[in-house]
C-alpha cells in the first residue's frame, strides 16, 4: 500500500503525484496543512517523524519510507517499471536526470522571488518595493529559461525520447511560473505545444486542476500576463 504525504501547493509533492498517476498506481494521499501566511507551520507530526528535513513529499510503500521527490520517482520507476519514466540508454537517462535537476534546482531559483505574489501583501513599503524589484529580475531569468528550453526541446514531443521524469519536473516548474504571473510562452511555439500536450494527459490535468482549486481557496489572485 502506497501512502503519499503531499501539500495542496507543494510543487515537489505534485511532481510525485503525476508520476504515480502516469504509472496508474493507487495511493492514499494525506494532505498536510498549508496556508499562505504560515506556510507549513506547524509541521505535520507524521512528516516530521518520517523525514529528517520535515518536508513533503514523503512516500511510504509497504514499510519503506522515502523522501525527496527525485529519490521517490526513481524508486517508483524501479519498483513499478511500467510505463517507464526514465529512458533506456545511460546517456538518455543521464540527460533526463539533468533536465529534472535543472527544473528542481535552477528553474526553482527563478520561481522563488515570485512566490510572495500569492501570499499576504507585505505591510512594510520598503519590503514591498524590494520584493517587486526582485520579481522583475526573476521574470527575466524565467524568460531566458523559456528560450533555452525551447532550443533544448528542438521541436520534439518530449524532453527525452518518451515522456520522462524531466517532463514532469519541468511541467511543474513552468506551471508554477504561470500561476505566479511569470512570462507566457509567447514566441516559444515548441514549449507552448509541449505544455498544452502534457496538460491534456489525465495525470497532469488532474494535478493542474487541483492546484488551481487550491489557489482559489488559499492564494491571493495573481494577474496573468
Ligand atoms: N528536494 C525536495 C524539496 C522538498 C520541498 O522543498 N518541500 C517543500 C514543499 S514543496 C516543503 O515541505 N517545505 C516545508 C519546509 O521546508 O519546512 C524534493 O524534491 O522533494
The answer to whether the beta carbons of residues 198 and 171 sit under 8 Å apart is: yes
Distance 77 CA to ligand 1 centre (A): 21
- In whole angstroms, what is the distance from residue 184 CA to residue 67 CA? 32
The answer to whether the beta carbons of residues 152 and 159 sit under 8 Å apart is: yes
Per-residue pLDDT at 28 exceeds 90: yes
The model's confidence at residue 223, banded by pLDDT at 50, 70 and 90, is confident
- In whole angstroms, what is the distance from residue 192 CA to residue 185 CA? 6
40 lines ligand 1 (CB under 6 A): yes
- In whole angstroms, what is the distance from residue 208 CA to residue 108 CA? 18
The confidence score (pLDDT) of residue 218 equals 98
The answer to whether the beta carbons of residues 23 and 73 sit under 8 Å apart is: no
Report phi then psi at 183, rounded to 5: -60, 150
3-state class (DSSP) for residue 6: strand
Q: With the CA atoms of 212, 215, 220 and 223 taken in that order, what torsion angle do they form, in degrees rounded to the nearest 10? A: -10
Comparing C-alpha atoms, which of 98, 139, 132, 99 is closest to residue 117? 132
Exposure pattern of 161-183 as b/e (b: 16+ CB <10 Å)? ebbbbbbbbbbbbbbbbbbbbbb
The confidence score (pLDDT) of residue 225 equals 74
54 lines ligand 1 (CB under 6 A): yes
Residue with C-alpha cell 509541521? 43
pTM of the model: 0.98
Exposure pattern of 70-98 as b/e (b: 16+ CB <10 Å)? bebbbbbbeebeeebbbbeeeeebebbbe
For residue 115, list its beta bridge partners: none
The answer to whether the beta carbons of residues 111 and 188 sit under 8 Å apart is: no
Share of residues in the chain with pLDDT > 90 (%): 98
68 lines ligand 1 (CB under 6 A): yes
Predicted confidence (pLDDT) per residue in 53-112, tens digit: 999 999 999 999 999 999 999 999 999 999 999 999 999 999 999 999 999 999 999 999
- In whole angstroms, what is the distance from residue 79 CA to residue 27 CA? 14
For the chain, domains (ranges, CATH) are: 2-79 (3.40.30.10), 90-201 (1.20.1050.10)
Report phi then psi at 217, rounded to 5: -85, -35
Q: What is the Cα gyration radius of the chain?
A: 17
Task: Find the mean pLDDT for residues 36-46.
Answer: 96
Predicted confidence (pLDDT) per residue in 125-162, tens digit: 999 999 999 999 999 999 999 999 999 999 999 999 99
Predicted confidence (pLDDT) per residue in 173-208, tens digit: 999 999 999 999 999 999 999 999 999 999 999 999
55 lines ligand 1 (CB under 6 A): yes
| Cβ neighbours around 220 below 10 Å, total | 12
Mutate-to-test residue for ligand 1 from 56, 76, 170, 211, highest number of ligand atoms within 8 A of CB:
56
Amino acid at each position: 500500500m502506497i501512502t503519499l504525504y503531499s501539500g495542496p501547493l507543494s510543487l515537489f509533492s505534485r511532481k510525485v503525484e503525476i508520476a504515480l498517476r502516469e504509472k496508474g498506481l493507487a495511493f492514499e494521499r494525506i494532505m498536510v496543512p498549508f496556508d499562505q501566511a504560515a506556510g507549513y507551520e506547524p509541521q505535520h507530526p507524521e512528516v516530521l517523524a518520517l523525514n529528517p528535513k520535515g518536508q513533503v513529499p514523503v512516500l511510504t510503500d509497504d514499510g519503506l519510507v522515502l523522501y525527496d521527490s527525485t529519490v521517490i520517482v526513481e524508486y517508483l520507476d524501479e519498483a513499478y517499471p511500467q510505463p517507464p519514466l526514465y529512458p533506456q540508454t545511460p546517456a538518455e537517462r543521464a540527460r533526463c536526470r539533468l533536465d529534472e535537476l535543472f527544473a528542481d534546482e535552477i528553474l526553482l531559483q527563478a520561481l522563488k522571488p515570485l512566490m510572495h505574489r500569492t501570499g499576504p501583501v507585505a505591510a512594510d513599503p520598503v519590503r514591498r518595493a524590494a520584493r517587486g524589484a526582485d520579481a522583475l529580475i526573476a521574470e527575466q531569468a524565467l524568460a531566458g529559461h523559456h528560450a533555452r528550453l525551447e532550443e533544448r526541446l528542438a521541436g520534439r514531443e518530449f524532453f527525452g525520447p518518451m515522456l520522462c521524469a524531466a517532463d514532469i519536473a519541468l511541467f511543474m516548474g513552468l506551471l508554477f511560473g504561470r500561476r505566479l504571473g511569470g512570462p507566457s510562452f509567447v514566441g516559444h511555439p515548441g514549449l507552448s505545444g509541449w505544455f498544452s500536450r502534457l496538460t491534456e494527459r489525465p495525470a497532469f490535468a488532474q494535478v493542474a486542476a487541483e492546484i488551481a482549486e487550491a489557489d482559489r481557496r488559499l492564494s491571493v489572485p495573481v494577474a496573468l500576463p
